[in-house]
Amino acid sequence: MRLFLSFILLLPGLYTYAQQGQLSGEITAAGKPLKGIQLELRKNNIRVETDSSGLFQFKDVPAGKYQLTAGGTGYFQQTVPVTVIADSTVQINMVLKADADDLNEIVITGTMKAVSKLESPIPVEVYTPAFFRKNPTPSLFEAVGQINGVRPQINCSICNTGDIHINGMEGPYTLILIDGMPIVSSLSSVYGLSGIPNSLVERIEVVKGPASSLYGSEAMGGVINVITKNAVKAPLFSFDAFSTSWREYNVDAGVRFRGKQWNSLLGINYFNAQHPMDNNGDGFTDLTMQHRISVFNKWNFTRKENREASVAARFVNEDRWGGQMDWTKADRGSDEVYGESIYTRRWELIGVYQLPFKEKIMTQFSYNWHDQNSYYGDVPYMATQKNYFAQMYWNKDLGKRHNLLLGGTFRYNWYDDNTPATSSTDGLSNQPAKTPLPGIFIQDEWKISDKNTLLAGYRYDHDRNHGSIHSPRIAYQYTKNQRNTLRFSMGTGFRVVNLFTEDHAALTGAREVVITEALQPERSYNSNLNYVWKIPADFGLLNIDATGFYSYFTNKIVGDFDVDPTKIIYSNLNGHAISRGFSLNTELVLNSPLRITAGLTYADVYLVDKNEAGIKEKTRQLHAPVWSGTYGLTYTFPGDFIIDLTGVFTGPMRLPIQPEDYRPEYSPWFNIANIQLTKKLKHGVEIYGGVKNLFNFVPKDVLMRPFDPFNKTADDPISNPKGYTFDTAYNYAPLQGIRVFAGLRYQIDWK
C-alpha cells in the first residue's frame, strides 16, 4: 500500500519531466554572430547568453508558449513568440538590428551623473569626433555649427569674434563646459572652443533647454559640455593636419605617457592664417588673420576601488587681426589705417578628486585667467578676467527607486578693464568687478517604474547685488520600450549681468555704449518636450528625435542698435521676450553603406516692449533665423573609400541696419555645403580632401562706409546726405568663399 501511494505522488513529477523540451538557436546582425546577447523566456524568466559563436540554448524548458526576448548594447531589443514542444529541440534564429545612435551610451551633462542615454530624463545629444571629421575645421567653435539648432554667430565682420546660439537664443544664454567645469565665460567663448585639439576630444554633449538648477548662471538656454579623453584610454599617438587654398594651416597632435600609477595625455593645436584676402573688394580682409597655439595636458591617476582623480591644464596664446588690407602692426591704435587687433593669453586649470569614503562624494575645481589686449580702430580695450570655481556633491542611491544628488558650489569672478564697466564713481580710477556667487543644489531622480521616471531639482544661489535666486526644475520620462521615449521638462533660469564680458559688439570702436539704468539679472521660465522614435525596418533603421521648446524671459537685457546708429543702448526690457519653436533630427541608416542625416529647426524669437506712446510692440530678435537646418550624407565604398556631403542652410534673419539703410533688413536664404573624400590606408593612416562652401555663397555689403572707417567725413551733408556711419555689425555668414582643403590623419593605439 505504501509503495502504491509513493507511485501516485510521483506521477505529477514524472508527467512534468515528460513535458519538457529544449530551445536553441543563433543570434546574428549583418551576417555576423553576436556574443554576449541576453535572451529571456518570458513567463518563467529563464535567462541565457550567447557564446562567442552567437549560439544559445535553453535546456529542460516546460512545454508551452513563450515570448523570447533578445537584446544587448548597441542593438534593438527584439521579441518573438515561440512554442516549446515536449521531447523536442526547437530551433530559433534571430537577426538583430544595430542601433546607430546607441541608447546605452553614457552621458553626464543632463543630470551631473553618469547614466545611459536611454535612462536620462533630460534629453542629451552626443557628438563624437567622427561626426566632426566629416567636415574638418580648425576649431570646435566652427565645428559645432554642424549641430542642428546650434549656431556660431560672428558678431564682428572684421575681428570675427562671436558666440554660440542655441535654438535662436543669444550666446550669453549658452553655458560652455570643459569636462563639466564652467570655465568659459562669454568674454572667452570663442577661445574656450578654439585651440582644444580635436584629437583630444572624447565627445561633446549638448543639452538644449533649462539647466540652471544644476549649473547656475548662464545655463538659461542650454549647455555644451566638451568631454576630453581619459588618458588611460587615449591612443598612444594621434596626428591630424590640414590646409586650405586660403593658406590656412591647422595641426592637432596628441601623445600619451604612462607610469605605474598615472597616465598623461599631452596635446598641441597650432593654427596659422597670415595671408590677407579681399575678394569682395571693400578694402578689408575677408578672413581674420590668426596665429594661435594651444597646449593641453591631462593626468589621470590610478587609485584604490577605481576612485576618480584627474587634473588638466591648458594654455592658449593668440594674435589675431582684421582690417584694411594695408594695415600693419605699426598702425595698431592709430586713426589712419583701420584695424582690429587682439592679443589673447589664457590659462585654464581643471581638477577632479573623489573623496576616499564609502559614499560617492566628488570634488571639482577650476581656475582660468584670461587677458585681452586689443584695439578696435583707435579704441583700446584692455581686460583681464579670472574665474574660480569649486564644487562638491554627494551621489547616493536611496533604495532601488531613488537617486539623490546633493551639492554646493562657489563661483568667483574677478574682472577689470579700461571701460566704464569698472571705473569708480568719480571716473578717476578703476574698481575691478568682484562677483562671488555661492550656491547649493539638490536633485532626486525617482524611478517610479521600469517605464516612468520623475526628476525634481532645486538650486539656490545668492548674489550680493541681486540677493537670493531660486531655480527649480522638474522632468518626466516615459520609456515605452527601447524604440519609444518621451521626455518633458520645466524649469527656471537666471543670468547675472557682466555686460562688457558678454557682448563683443559693445567693444567695437564703431559705436558708443550707453547704459540707461542699473541692469537687473535676467530670469527665464522654460519648458521642453522631446520624443525619440527608433523605427527598424527591412531596409535599415530610421531614427527620429523631435523637440518642442518654449522660453519666457523677464528683465531681458537688450542692446538697441536702431535708435542711434552711433550707439548701442543697453537696458532691461520693459516687457518680455519669447523663444519658442521646435527642432527635428532624423537619421536613416540603410543596410547598404549609405547613411543620411537631416535636421530642421524653427525658432520664433521676439521681444515685446512698450514704445514711447505706451503701446506694446513686437520686435524680432537680431541674428535669429526663423528656419535653419543641417544635412549630411555618407557613403562608404569598397576599399575604405568614404565620401561625405555636409551642409547648413539658414533662413532670413533680422540684421542691425541704419536709418534709411539701402541694405535689406533681413538676410537671404543661404546654404553652405561641403564635400569631402577620405581614404583609409594601412597602419592607422587616413588622407582626406574636399571643397568647402561648394556653392560659393558670400554675404554682401557687410560693412557700411568701409572707405571711411573713422567717420572723418560722416558729417558731410553733401557726400553723406543720409548720415551713414561706419558699422561692422551687419553680419550673417562667413565671408570665405569656395576653397579647397586637404589633410592627413594618423593614429597609433596601444596593443
pLDDT tens for each residue of 419-471: 766 776 666 778 888 888 899 999 999 999 989 999 999 989 888 777 788 88
What is the rounded distance in angstroms from the CA atom of residue 511 to the CA atom of residue 728?
A: 10
Task: Give CATH superfamily name and number for 2-95.
Answer: Immunoglobulins (2.60.40.10)
- At residue 266, the pLDDT reads 93
Tell me the pLDDT band of 109, cut-offs 50, 70 and 90. low
Cell numbers representing residue 682 in the block: 594601412
Please tell me which residue, 689 or 748, carries the higher pLDDT value.
689
- Residue 168, pLDDT > 90, answer no
pLDDT tens for each residue of 169-205: 877 778 888 888 877 655 555 666 666 767 778 888 8
For cell 537696458, name the residue: 571
Domain locations in the chain as residue ranges? 2-95, 106-150+185-748
- At residue 8, the pLDDT reads 45
Backbone phi, psi, residue 717, to 5°? -70, -15
- Residue 412, pLDDT > 80, answer yes
- At residue 14, the pLDDT reads 42
For the segment 14-39, the average pLDDT, to the nearest whole number, is 76
Cell numbers representing residue 570 in the block: 543697453
Distances (CA, A) of 381 to 329, 373, 416: 16, 6, 11
DSSP assignments along 419-454, one per residue: SGGGB-TTSSSB--EEEEEEEEEEEEEEE-SSSEEE
- At residue 185, the pLDDT reads 57
For the segment 623-640, the average pLDDT, to the nearest whole number, is 91
Distances (CA, A) of 290 to 46, 189, 190: 64, 16, 13
- At residue 364, the pLDDT reads 94
Q: Are strands 89-95 and 20-29 parallel, antiparallel or unpaired?
A: parallel
Tell me the pLDDT band of 12, cut-offs 50, 70 and 90. very low
Give me the sheet containing 512-515, strands edge to edge.
Answer: 512-515, 567-572, 557-560
- At residue 191, the pLDDT reads 63
- Residue 141, pLDDT > 50, answer yes
pLDDT tens for each residue of 72-88: 656 767 778 888 888 88
Count CB atoms within 10 A of the CB of residue 312: 23
| Ranges 106-110, 186-190, 342-346: which has the least confidence | 186-190
- Residue 505, pLDDT > 50, answer no
Q: For every residue of 694-723, which 3-state class applies, written as one string?
A: CCCCCCCCCCECCCCCCCCCCCCCCCCCCC
- At residue 74, the pLDDT reads 61
pLDDT tens for each residue of 670-710: 999 999 999 989 888 999 999 999 999 999 899 999 999 99
Residue 302 near residue 310, CB atoms below 8 Å: no
Highest mean pLDDT range out of 27-41, 207-221, 560-574? 27-41
Count CB atoms within 10 A of the CB of residue 616: 11
Domain boundaries 106-150+185-748, corresponding CATH code: 2.40.170.20
- Residue 100, pLDDT > 70, answer no
What is the rounded distance in angstroms from the CA atom of residue 234 to the CA atom of residue 88?
A: 51
- Residue 209, pLDDT > 70, answer yes
Cell numbers representing residue 498 in the block: 557682466
For the segment 159-173, the average pLDDT, to the nearest whole number, is 80
Question: H helices then E strands: how many in the chain?
Answer: 6, 43
- Residue 373, pLDDT > 80, answer yes
Q: Across the chain, what does the average pLDDT equal?
A: 84
| Ranges 15-24, 226-235, 269-278, 344-353: which has the least confidence | 15-24
- At residue 589, the pLDDT reads 83
